């Protein structure tokens, strides 16, 4: 993801921009959704341990 971020800063070709948008939509967003679910689950575990 970091490599793509560094590349995206210097993209001026419309086709490359479109490819980056698809990559974000199809790969990065789903990865962050999974990450969010994992964090929420871990937070619930910690909350339950404190009760």
pLDDT in tens, 14-25: 888 898 899 999
Closest CA to 17 of 30, 29, 4, 28: 4
Cβ atoms of residues 24 and 11 within 8 Å:
no
Q: Compute the mean pLDDT over every residue in the chain, rounded to the nearest whole number.
A: 86
Q: Which two tokens stand for residue 19?
A: 């490819």
* Angle formed at CA 6 by CA 26 and CA 8, multiple of 5 degrees: 55
Task: Tell me how far apart the alpha carbons of residues 35 and 1 are, in angstroms, rounded to a whole number.
Answer: 14
pLDDT band for position 48 (cuts 50, 70, 90):
very high
Say yes or no to pLDDT of 36 above 80. yes
Region of poorest pLDDT, from 7-16, 24-33, 36-45:
7-16
What's the rounded Cα separation, in Å, for the pair 51 and 47?
A: 7
What value does the mean pLDDT take over residues 2-28?
80
């Amino acid at each position: 993801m970091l490599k793509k971020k560094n590349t995206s800063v210097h993209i001026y070709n419309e086709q490359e921009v479109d490819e980056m948008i698809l990559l974000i939509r199809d790969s990065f967003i789903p990865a962050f959704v999974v990450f969010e679910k994992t964090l929420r689950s871990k937070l619930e575990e910690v909350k339950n341990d404190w009760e």
